[in-house]
Structure 1
Amino acid sequence: MRHYVARLLTKRFLTSLVAVGCVTTVPQLRAQTTPTLTGTVRDAAGQPLEYATVTLHRAADSVAVKTEFCDAQGRFALPTSPTGEYLVSVALVGYNRVWSTPVAATSQPQTLGPLVMQPSAAATLGEVKVEARRPLYEREADRTIVNVEGSTLSAGATSLDVLGRAPGITLDATDNLALRGRQGLLVLIDGKRVPMNGTELADYLRALPAEQLASIELLSNPPAKYDAQGGAGVVAIHLKKDQRLGTNGTANLSYGRGRYGKFTTGLTLNHQRKNLNAFGSYTYTDRRNFLDLDFYRQFYGSNMQPGSSEQFNRNTSHLQSHSWKAGLDYNLSARTLLGVSVSGLVSETPSFSNNQTFITNTGVGGGFAKERYASTTDQTVQRPNLAGNLNLRHVFADSTNAPELTVDLDVARYATDRLLALTTVYALPDDPTNVLHGDQKNHVTIQSAKADYSRLLPYRIRLETGAKATFINSDNDAVFTNITEGTITTVDTNKTNRFRYDENVNAAYFSLQRATARTTTQLGLRAEQTNTLSRQSVGDERYERHYLQLFPNLSVKRTLSEQHELALSLSRRLDRPSYGQLNPLRVYFDATSYQSGNPALRPQTSYNLELTHTFQQKYISTLGYARTSNLIQNVVQPAPEGGRTVVNQFANLGTLHFLTLTLTAPVEVTKSWTMYNNLVLFYGRYLGNLAGTNLDRGRPAFTFNTNQSFSFGRGWSADVTGLYQSREVAAFEVVRRRGQVTAGVQKSLWDKQATLRLNVSDIFYTTPIRSTATYDNFRETFYNRFDSRVATLAFTYRFGGSKVTAARKRTVGADEELRRTGGF
């Protein structure tokens, strides 16, 4: 029945698209025929000036007829009448007003030559003292924006810290990100997918300092131009990019102290002249951390010996990372820009863990047999990653809304090398000491090409269309050996294996958008064809899949009055398994816990519906519903080899029905005190059968974020952020309530060229996670603590020129599959 309904909806949707397409092909006799006068505004260096005020005057008496603003490329369009003579003037703060020569009106569109503006010595901004700053959080109808740049709380923090405090974002015990309670996010950094998920994604974001971020956008229902990946939405992270002319840069230095120290330093350089912009950055991070994990497990299945185990892990780690990026943008002509960039991240994380395990087995007749042993895990993980991008942007005419083409070519190689020494010493029974050595290598190569085209059609309809092809190769090799009695070395054939995975995704989309005075409508369709092949050496297992899926998207926004606005959005989205979730090779945490992928895992799909109401252009409420099929769910179960070892593995569950209500209320208490409040109420109902357990459960839950921002004048400001997450149910798992409070203060120095910040995160140490997972044969209680309460002092210094040029517009980049690399 559900497949019939899906086909019916798709058929009706395609019918609507055909109808819209027919409308756009009606002869132009019905289109508007008002002549226009177009042109561009540039500075003395030839760079476009955005958002300059352009005014159309009657030449006879200089009376203003029409006023418009330039777009981000310095282009403008002014409607004229078929007769008369006109002048055009342009004004912008910091520049002298410029006038065009008289232009005689005609019945046909006309294009002026570039209007060049000269800097005004009288209009210098050197004496202007601007005390206001952008709010930390902003809420729009289709997204939430976190303005990280300049935030007091970002000092010395990691990108994961900032993201974890963002409205609606939560992080579970296994480092999986969720938006409004739902997992399955597409994470972008400057339009490129982060090539990891789960723990690896969390480690990557821990290595990326928050000082490098400009903003983060959270989109729960993105349009068709975004890849279909990410059923719960998109997290778009934007890095800082200096837009100042000449040679300039930013240096930063921070040191934080919790139980252990955390040090970050970095340098960003930029050189920009008439047709060339060269940029580069380097960041070094040195962070020591601890992780305390306590487990209590009960085994009571019919096919195993009943009993329980207690386990206490004490882990210390030392992350050192070097991240860098270099690039060049060159204007081949006034309308064509070519860019190239290369980036890398090299990290090494040695860690050492002590584990104490106590096991009680219930025997026949109620007797007890006890075991006790200790283990140490000595592990080093190295991740050398390298990525390159070549991009081209061409505008087909010197006019506003001219057709535009962007092309991105990407190649990336990501590696994870893991060396393991797991030593187990048995106290009861008195068995020989065992040492498990592991040498694991994971290499992923990704190549992709993406092109996007946009233009304005008749009837004020904007068309966006594009295509992308991606090829991925993942090669994973693991060799495990056992050493017993100190001398006998044998290859462990149960753990040694090789896994290879190839994937090709071909995608195409189009989107039509039409805006009137009160209504904006966007209609899109994305098609993605997927071909996958996975192979295991052991057992010669092979999985091959080929499928084509359609992903429609519709959004309508209607202004009802000056006080009220409504928006409705519908979409279908997809979550392909990450490469790590498919990889069956084992990653050991300790003597009784390991993680393994599932090559038989299938993609999950979801239908999403959102209705948003905006009151007075700032108070926003959103009601959402999502239905997810073949839900990808993490499951903890006794391992197939028996004993008291457990395995973490992803599997397809069944169906998830998810309801959300989001309320956002920004409040200006006084001119120097602003408040941002965000409440997310959600209810998820999980249906299915997994690990021998029938599941039909759900529980209402909520998250609440509040941020208080204070401006004291004389360069002083402060922020206090609070987060509370209620008790919630996630399939088999129940997570207890938790939260945190973070506060910081900052002072601008030396005419705002420098900033000194001090903050303390998780002041009351309420971030630790407690959760319980329950199955018909197994139950696990989990308690997780880490070094989250940290006091940080940070210093940032900006040097070079202060004149800002127009920002370069970029589209979303091309690497959808990068997000799914790795996973362990």
Structure 2
Amino acid sequence: MHFSLHSFFVLLLLLAPRVGLYAKSGPILSGTVRDPAGTTVEFATVALHRAADSVVVKTEFSDTKGAFHFDQLPAGSYFVSASQVGFERVQTAPFVISSTDQTLAPIQLKSSANTQLKEVTVQARKPMFERETDRIVVNVDGTPLSAGATSLEILSRSPGVTIDQNDNLALRGKQGVLVLIDGKRVPMTGAELGEMLRALPANSIEKIELITNPPAKYDAAGSAGIIAIKLKKDGRQGTNGSVNASYGYGKYGKFTSGISLNHRYKKLNIFGNYTYNNRNQFSQLMLHRDFYQNSQFIGSSDQDNVGKTHWISNTYRAGLDYTLSKRTTLGAVVNGLINHAEASIPNVTQTFDETGRLQSSYQSANQRMLETPNTAANLNLKHSFDSTGRRELTADLDFAHYGIHRLQNLATSFIVPVQSPTILDGKLNGGLDITSFKADYVHTFPNKTRLEGGIKASWVQSDNDVLFTNISEGISLVDTGKSNRFRYTENINAAYLNLNKTINKTSIQLGLRGEQTNATGLQVIGNSGFERHYFQVFPSVFVKQPVSKNQDLSLSLSRRIDRPTYNQLNPFRAYIDATTYFTGNPSLYPQLSYNIELTHTFKQKFMTSISYSRTDQPIINVIQPAPEGNRQAVSTFQNLTRSDYYGLTLTIPVQPTNWWTMDNNIVAFYNRFIGDLAGTSLNEGLPAYTLNTANTFTLGRGWTADLTGNYQSHQLYGFLDIRPLGQINIGLQKMMWGKKGTLKLNMTDAFYTSPLHATSTYANYVEQFYQRQDTRIATASLTYRFGSDTVSQSRRRSGGAEDEKRRAGGA
């Protein structure tokens, strides 16, 4: 479709009144909070609970007039609780939400002589896993297993999330996941994303949301869905904060410490945090390769890479919110990650002929250094056109710079046959600049029709310069076959409309998003490049229908796109050893997916979902014979022809006793890939499943314990055959010092069952590999919170350059 974005947006606006006749938001629940004297209470914490199991559905703060409201509520039975420092927590009687707005009688708090203790005592700890209508929520804050862990490790234990040997994330067995942190997409994927998430400690995370079929408001990227990481925020008045430190030990030691500060006074809120991470990571990669020619075995090789990587990262975030008026708030945020890594990974390689006789033997000393100074700034504005908040405008302006400096030195000594040693020296210097603007408008009409619309524009410039030098017998020569300079520019313009309505008991949401893409890439040496201009429309539909008092059915459909990340397109090489390297692929095309999911909910907690996705030109990570021959292999990304995904998800929460809660999640799926690569035709799939269980034990006297486990069955992903793996994790937590201190102890991967065994098979090449890392770790962590305990209303917003920042990195 080749017509302008302006024409598309005009078309959406013309359609809006007509679509609005058939779509609106769910009912609104409102009320006020008062003290014993009848005076309204501002900034009270108001929570909406499901009556069936008391699970918190939504949380809000009362405004300066003591008022609160919850919107877009599904039909069901609920109750509301309210709390504030100086008062006891109170709750309403259960009530039923149908299709009409509802106003509760004023909630009257009761005075408390010992507020802080009662406030904490009566609040139940959230379960580790919660299933909402369109997402699974992983409550990280408060679990002992977050102690000393990285956010990547927490993700690896989340329901339906798997991470391969190159740190590529998959959700329910599908790659192409969009990662958000506080609403902003992370500027990396693959190995760079893995490095960033290893630098982000889990104790800075409040929760993780796994969204499998996002609506039109989100960027159309992410065919497998969205992983939204939400960091902790402090809503207390005055000056307050926390400090934390942890130390863990597996093969090597790992230390993390941080501080968080927040000052809130009247119209101004200033916040900041800093985390220092110093980790030593063990890794081992063992490879066995068999080579064929015309279906005849011609030889093999064995490789062993064992080494240590030292990570030092400094993560910071600072900003402010200022209330310009009762309806307008302005915010600014600056955040960054300075990551430094040094790795020493020696390699031993032997090659054999078809009879098993030794042909060659050599050793390589692989030294790597990586620095990624990343900085981003955001300005944001929120304005309500009336006191009800039914008409609201938000806007964001983002600027970001991501640098990368990579050095690698591969020194190879030859034992059989004897020959002069060689050195391959590589230097990469690159940068990525992103500018983005977005604006979103929400309008709830008197007839309860809710309209959301927005526009977004982003501009990206990437420049990477790599120089490789061969050194042999003291002579240095530039390797022109490996050296190059890659420049990439991109502009994406987008607009969307999203409308909601409830007709009788049926909730309907219709969305339409259009994105126009203009991209160019150029390899300076050789003057090889590409230029692409295309426009795509992405519709989405969500329908929810109650079928009885305890049962609901919901259906969602969407079309999504995954553009190649900037580093996936970059032909820069990163050598693993003398015969194995990673490189990008400038010839990659976007992948397009069509998704449908049907979900049944029983008693608002037991959920069953069936889903289907078709993806055209899926982008997959492959390990294949290198074009240079000489028994070399290359890890890269390629487009296949098509993939089909069939999935079944079961969510089963159980409470065996009042001190033991258990959350279970089962994902069964079948993923079939079709395509041709390296002389091999692929048309295969295999039924597979993943299991997650999280058990929480309330032991009394401030002690709680967690026991979690996950298991991934045998599965196929493209040309990769992956053997089963899993892990068991144990955690213990103690609250102390008047609830201001938290001690956490844990052991992850207790039985060391998570090493990866897999096989890649092609017509002329078979690779078996075994990979293990430092996953069995014992950790102790201590956190201390200080300052005011008076809760206030918090506003912390995110920016608009989410998709571009996600794609700034590559594998």
TM-score, normalization by structure 1: 0.87
Partner Cα separation in structure 2 for residue 126 and residue 649 of structure 1: 56
Whether the 8 Å contact between 1:146 and 1:166 is mirrored in structure 2 is yes
Structure 1 counterpart of 2:423: 435
- Give the counterpart of 2:442 among 454, 470, 475: 454
- Give the counterpart of 2:791 among 795, 804, 807: 804
- Deviation, 1:52, is 9.1
User: Are residues 368 and 617 of structure 1, via their aligned partners in 2, closer, same or farther at CA, if it must alter by over 3 Å?
Assistant: same
Over residues 595-627 of structure 1, what are the superposed CA-to-partner deviations in whole Å (9 max), with x where a residue is unaligned? 111111000000000000001111000000000
Structure 1 counterpart of 2:547: 560
- Deviation, 1:495, is 0.7
- Deviation, 1:361, is 3.2
Whether the 8 Å contact between 2:44 and 2:82 is mirrored in structure 1 is no
Partner Cα separation in structure 2 for residue 440 and residue 304 of structure 1: 40
Partner Cα separation in structure 1 for residue 672 and residue 396 of structure 2: 41
- Give the counterpart of 2:724 among 722, 737, 748: 737
Structure 1 counterpart of 2:372: 383
Structure 1 counterpart of 2:351: 359
Over residues 139-172 of structure 1, what are the superposed CA-to-partner deviations in whole Å (9 max), with x where a residue is unaligned? 1121000011111110000000101100010111
Q: 1:491 is aligned with what amino acid?
A: V
Q: 1:230 is aligned with what amino acid?
A: G
Whether the 8 Å contact between 2:721 and 2:760 is mirrored in structure 1 is yes
- Give the counterpart of 1:601 among 566, 570, 588: 588
Over residues 310-366 of structure 1, what are the superposed CA-to-partner deviations in whole Å (9 max), with x where a residue is unaligned? 10111111000011011000000111000001011111100001111001234xxx7
3-state SS of paired residue (2:480): coil
Partner Cα separation in structure 1 for residue 780 and residue 546 of structure 2: 46
Partner Cα separation in structure 2 for residue 423 and residue 322 of structure 1: 31
Partner Cα separation in structure 2 for residue 295 and residue 540 of structure 1: 36
Identity %: 49
3-state SS of paired residue (1:306): strand
- Deviation, 1:635, is 1.9
Does residue 1:691 correspond to 2:678, yes or no?
Answer: yes
Whether the 8 Å contact between 2:397 and 2:799 is mirrored in structure 1 is no
Partner Cα separation in structure 2 for residue 434 and residue 802 of structure 1: 64
User: Are residues 659 and 303 of structure 1, via their aligned partners in 2, closer, same or farther at CA, if it must alter by over 3 Å?
Assistant: closer
User: Are residues 337 and 46 of structure 1, via their aligned partners in 2, closer, same or farther at CA, if it must alter by over 3 Å?
Assistant: farther
Structure 2 counterpart of 1:85: none
Whether the 8 Å contact between 2:32 and 2:40 is mirrored in structure 1 is no
Q: 1:338 is aligned with what amino acid?
A: L
Q: 1:667 is aligned with what amino acid?
A: V
User: Are residues 231 and 484 of structure 1, via their aligned partners in 2, closer, same or farther at CA, if it must alter by over 3 Å?
Assistant: same
Q: 1:389 is aligned with what amino acid?
A: N
**Structure 1 residues 37-46 or 307-316, which shifts more?**
37-46
- Deviation, 1:284, is 0.2
Structure 1 counterpart of 2:698: 711
- Give the counterpart of 2:616 among 607, 618, 629: 629
Whether the 8 Å contact between 1:24 and 1:458 is mirrored in structure 2 is no
Structure 2 counterpart of 1:677: 664
Whether the 8 Å contact between 2:189 and 2:809 is mirrored in structure 1 is yes
User: Are residues 800 and 597 of structure 1, via their aligned partners in 2, closer, same or farther at CA, if it must alter by over 3 Å?
Assistant: same
Structure 2 counterpart of 1:230: 222
Whether the 8 Å contact between 1:406 and 1:811 is mirrored in structure 2 is no
Structure 2 counterpart of 1:478: 466
Whether the 8 Å contact between 1:567 and 1:611 is mirrored in structure 2 is yes
Looking at both structures, which has the greater relative contact order when contacts are Cα pairs under 8 Å and sequence separation is at least 6? 2
User: Are residues 15 and 509 of structure 1, via their aligned partners in 2, closer, same or farther at CA, if it must alter by over 3 Å?
Assistant: closer
Over residues 559-604 of structure 1, what are the superposed CA-to-partner deviations in whole Å (9 max), with x where a residue is unaligned? 1112111000000011100111100111111111111111110000
Does residue 1:340 correspond to 2:332, yes or no?
Answer: yes
3-state SS of paired residue (2:115): coil
3-state SS of paired residue (1:538): coil
Partner Cα separation in structure 1 for residue 12 and residue 459 of structure 2: 33
Does residue 1:468 correspond to 2:456, yes or no?
Answer: yes
User: Are residues 367 and 179 of structure 1, via their aligned partners in 2, closer, same or farther at CA, if it must alter by over 3 Å?
Assistant: closer
- Deviation, 1:795, is 0.3
Q: 1:590 is aligned with what amino acid?
A: D
3-state SS of paired residue (2:191): helix
1:63-78 to 2 correspondences below 5 Å: 75=67
**Structure 1 residues 810-819 or 252-261, which shifts more?**
810-819
Partner Cα separation in structure 1 for residue 30 and residue 710 of structure 2: 52
Over residues 462-520 of structure 1, what are the superposed CA-to-partner deviations in whole Å (9 max), with x where a residue is unaligned? 111101000001100001111111x1111111111000000100010010011356221
- Give the counterpart of 2:414 among 420, 426, 449: 426
Q: 2:581 is aligned with what amino acid?
A: Y
Does residue 1:396 correspond to 2:385, yes or no?
Answer: yes
Q: 1:605 is aligned with what amino acid?
A: L
TM-score, normalization by structure 2: 0.89
User: Are residues 41 and 468 of structure 1, via their aligned partners in 2, closer, same or farther at CA, if it must alter by over 3 Å?
Assistant: farther
Structure 2 counterpart of 1:253: 245
- Give the counterpart of 2:752 among 745, 758, 765: 765
Partner Cα separation in structure 1 for residue 47 and residue 555 of structure 2: 33
Structure 2 counterpart of 1:817: 804
Q: 2:497 is aligned with what amino acid?
A: F
Structure 2 counterpart of 1:541: 528
User: Are residues 130 and 361 of structure 1, via their aligned partners in 2, closer, same or farther at CA, if it must alter by over 3 Å?
Assistant: same
Q: 1:227 is aligned with what amino acid?
A: D
Number of residue-to-residue matches in the alignment:
758
1:83-482 to 2 correspondences below 5 Å: 93=84, 124-128=115-119, 129-130=121-122, 132-302=124-294, 306-362=298-354, 370-399=359-388, 401-482=389-470
- Deviation, 1:21, is 3.0
- Deviation, 1:301, is 3.3
Whether the 8 Å contact between 1:518 and 1:560 is mirrored in structure 2 is no
3-state SS of paired residue (1:432): strand
Q: 1:331 is aligned with what amino acid?
A: T
- Deviation, 1:409, is 0.5
User: Are residues 809 and 203 of structure 1, via their aligned partners in 2, closer, same or farther at CA, if it must alter by over 3 Å?
Assistant: closer
Partner Cα separation in structure 2 for residue 717 and residue 534 of structure 1: 54
Higher-Rg member (1/2): 1
Partner Cα separation in structure 2 for residue 725 and residue 25 of structure 1: 46
Partner Cα separation in structure 1 for residue 697 and residue 680 of structure 2: 51
RMSD over aligned Cα atoms? 3.0
Q: 1:173 is aligned with what amino acid?
A: Q
User: Are residues 794 and 40 of structure 1, via their aligned partners in 2, closer, same or farther at CA, if it must alter by over 3 Å?
Assistant: closer
Partner Cα separation in structure 2 for residue 429 and residue 305 of structure 1: 23
Whether the 8 Å contact between 2:731 and 2:744 is mirrored in structure 1 is yes
**Structure 1 residues 435-444 or 621-630, which shifts more?**
435-444
Over residues 401-451 of structure 1, what are the superposed CA-to-partner deviations in whole Å (9 max), with x where a residue is unaligned? 421000011011111101111001011111210011111112111110010
3-state SS of paired residue (1:332): strand
- Deviation, 1:556, is 0.6
Over residues 16-75 of structure 1, what are the superposed CA-to-partner deviations in whole Å (9 max), with x where a residue is unaligned? 99777326479xxxx9xxxx999999999996556499xxxxxxxxxxxxxxx9877565
Partner Cα separation in structure 2 for residue 45 and residue 245 of structure 1: 18
Structure 2 counterpart of 1:722: 709
Whether the 8 Å contact between 1:571 and 1:607 is mirrored in structure 2 is yes
Whether the 8 Å contact between 2:19 and 2:499 is mirrored in structure 1 is no
Structure 1 counterpart of 2:97: none
- Deviation, 1:633, is 1.4
Q: Which runs of 5+ in 2 are unaligned?
A: 4-9, 49-58, 71-80, 89-105
Partner Cα separation in structure 1 for residue 399 and residue 180 of structure 2: 16
Partner Cα separation in structure 2 for residue 292 and residue 323 of structure 1: 28
1:516-535 to 2 correspondences below 5 Å: 518-535=505-522
- Deviation, 1:131, is 6.2
- Deviation, 1:542, is 1.3
Partner Cα separation in structure 1 for residue 338 and residue 705 of structure 2: 34
- Give the counterpart of 1:21 among 4, 11, 17: 17
- Deviation, 1:808, is 2.4
User: Are residues 389 and 809 of structure 1, via their aligned partners in 2, closer, same or farther at CA, if it must alter by over 3 Å?
Assistant: closer
User: Are residues 44 and 192 of structure 1, via their aligned partners in 2, closer, same or farther at CA, if it must alter by over 3 Å?
Assistant: farther
Does residue 1:655 correspond to 2:642, yes or no?
Answer: yes
- Deviation, 1:459, is 2.8
Over residues 682-740 of structure 1, what are the superposed CA-to-partner deviations in whole Å (9 max), with x where a residue is unaligned? 00111111221111101000000011100011100000001011000111110000000
